[in-house]
């Protein structure tokens, strides 16, 4: 029975619950960023580069094991079992990561500012010493005499 109580205490700690909430929200946020990159940013980048689809950027390393159905594309070659070097997909995921990191950076920065924690600024002066600490120092110094 002691192990069950210990597990319950562990599972219901604030940090574990906070972590679970963070993972769930992070998963949903990841889908939003993925859609932002896939549906909004990548078509614009593709248009600037010249109507280029990054998902169609690949090199066939080994021919497909089965017959390719329909037009030759990344999806049809993948389904046919071809060995593909899909560097375009990597570019998409890399752009997705950079955007996600940028958005998280701004979120943390806004959170710290709202919280009043501007400790990220190295030029910021240190906080003032509390009055009770100053009083205790005076008492300590007076007792030393």
Confidence of residue 95 (pLDDT cuts 50, 70, 90): confident
Q: What is the pLDDT of residue 119?
A: 54
Confidence of residue 48 (pLDDT cuts 50, 70, 90): confident
Tokens 């497909």 sit on residue: 64
In a domain, residue 125? The reply is no
Task: Collapse the DSSP code of 14 into the 3-class scheme (helix H, G, I; strand E, B; otherwise coil) and give the result.
Answer: helix
List pLDDT tens digits, range 55-82: 778 888 888 888 888 788 888 888 888 8
Q: What is the pLDDT of residue 103?
A: 77
Whether residue 118 is predicted with pLDDT greater than 70 in this model: the reply is: no
In a domain, residue 131? The reply is no
**Domain that includes residue 28, residue range:** 2-52+86-120
Range 15-22 average pLDDT: 79
Confidence of residue 52 (pLDDT cuts 50, 70, 90): low
Whether residue 85 is predicted with pLDDT greater than 80 in this model: the reply is: yes
What is the number of structural domains in the chain? 1
Q: HEC profile for the chain?
A: CHHHHHHHHHHCCHHHHHHHHHHHHHHHHHHHHHHHHHHHHHHHHHHHHCCCCHHHCCEEEECCCCCCCCCCCHHHHHHCCCEEECHHHHHHHHHHHHHHHHHHHHHHHHHHHHHCCCCCCCCCCCCCCCHHHHHHHHHHHHHHC
In a domain, residue 98? The reply is yes
The mean pLDDT value of the chain amounts to: 80
In a domain, residue 77? The reply is no
Checking phi first, is residue 98 left (phi over 0); if not, alpha (psi -120 to 50) or beta?
Answer: alpha
In a domain, residue 71? The reply is no
CA proximity to 100, closest of 41, 34, 20: 34
In a domain, residue 79? The reply is no
pTM: 0.50
Whether residue 35 is predicted with pLDDT greater than 80 in this model: the reply is: yes
In a domain, residue 63? The reply is no
List the structure tokens of 8: 């319950």
Alpha carbon distance 61, 113 (integer Å): 51
In a domain, residue 94? The reply is yes
Whether residue 117 is predicted with pLDDT greater than 60 in this model: the reply is: no
């Amino acid at each position: 029975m002691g192990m069950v109580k210990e597990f319950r205490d562990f599972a219901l700690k604030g940090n574990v619950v906070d972590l679970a909430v963070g993972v769930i929200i992070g998963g949903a946020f990841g889908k939003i960023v993925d859609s932002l990159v896939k549906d909004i940013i990548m078509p614009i980048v593709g248009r600037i580069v010249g109507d280029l689809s990054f998902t169609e950027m690949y090199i066939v390393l080994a021919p497909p094991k089965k017959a390719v159905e329909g037009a030759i594309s990344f999806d049809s070659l993948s389904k046919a079992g071809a060995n593909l070097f899909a560097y375009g997909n990597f570019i998409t995921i890399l752009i997705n990561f950079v955007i996600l990191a940028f958005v998280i950076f701004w979120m943390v920065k806004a959170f710290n500012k709202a919280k009043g924690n501007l400790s990220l600024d190295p030029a910021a002066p240190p906080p003032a010493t509390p009055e009770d600490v100053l009083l205790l120092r005076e008492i300590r110094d007076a007792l030393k005499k």
